[in-house]
């Protein structure tokens, strides 16, 4: 049975390493027979949450930007994958703002169950993505039907394209291909 998979790429850099991993995740998920869409946040108008909580009642944000359509896509997906470069040992600001703006989903009848995480960083310590993963886990914990389902981290990549030939590309493909 085909699953609807949504991949959110939060890097703003053309040819980014995290997006290269996301591309492989997409390829793997497609090869597994899934319906896959990747969305890049680089050209999206996404403003900061105002904390008004109106969305808890209306299931819609009062801010008129690109998030309404993105929240609908997240709500309708069976599986989510978030790809980010690690900045200062945390997820990108773009991804954090995106997750904050998904607040209308808190009281919605969302479909997603599996949440995946892809990250890259210049630092190659295996603990480098831990704080970003913890932040994403906090978001997942707010959605009782969802769970953290896997991740790929590629450290030691700094300049765009550094990920070429790295085994993490294969790992990202396999993670995407595991979605059934």
- 1 pLDDT band, cuts 50/70/90, is confident
If one counts the domains in the chain, the total is 1
CB neighbour list of residue 13: distance below 8 Å, 6 or more residues apart: 85, 160
Q: Quick one: pLDDT at residue 54? A: 96
**pTM as predicted:** 0.97
- Specify the CATH number for the domain of residue 47: 3.40.50.360
Residue 58 pLDDT > 90, yes or no?
Answer: yes
Residue 151: give the domain boundaries.
4-177
Summarised one tens digit per residue, pLDDT across range 119-160 is 999 999 999 999 999 999 999 999 999 999 999 999 999 999
Within the chain, where are the H helices? Answer: 17-31, 55-58, 67-76, 93-101, 130-141, 167-177
| Residue percentage of the chain with pLDDT more than 70 | 100
Summarised one tens digit per residue, pLDDT across range 3-27 is 999 999 999 999 999 999 999 999 9
Q: Which of 98, 69, 97 is nearest to 8 (CA)?
A: 98
């Amino acid at each position: 049975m085909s699953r609807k998979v949504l991949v959110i790429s939060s890097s703003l850099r053309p040819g980014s390493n995290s997006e290269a991993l996301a591309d492989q995740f997409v390829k793997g998920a497609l090869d597994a027979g899934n319906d896959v869409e990747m969305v890049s946040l680089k050209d999206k108008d996404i403003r900061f949450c105002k904390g008004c909580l109106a969305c808890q009642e209306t299931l819609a944000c009062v801010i008129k930007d690109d998030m309404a359509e993105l929240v609908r896509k997240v709500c309708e997906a069976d599986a989510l994958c978030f790809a980010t470069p690690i900045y200062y040992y945390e997820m990108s600001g773009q991804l954090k703002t995106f997750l904050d703006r998904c607040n209308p989903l808190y009281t919605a009848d969302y479909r997603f169950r599996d949440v995946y995480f892809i990250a890259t960083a210049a630092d190659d310590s295996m603990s480098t993505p831990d704080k970003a993963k913890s932040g994403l886990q906090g978001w997942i914990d707010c959605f009782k039907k969802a769970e953290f389902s896997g991740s790929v981290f590629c450290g030691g990549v700094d300049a765009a394209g550094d990920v070429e030939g790295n085994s993490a590309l294969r790992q990202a493909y396999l993670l995407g291909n595991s979605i059934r």
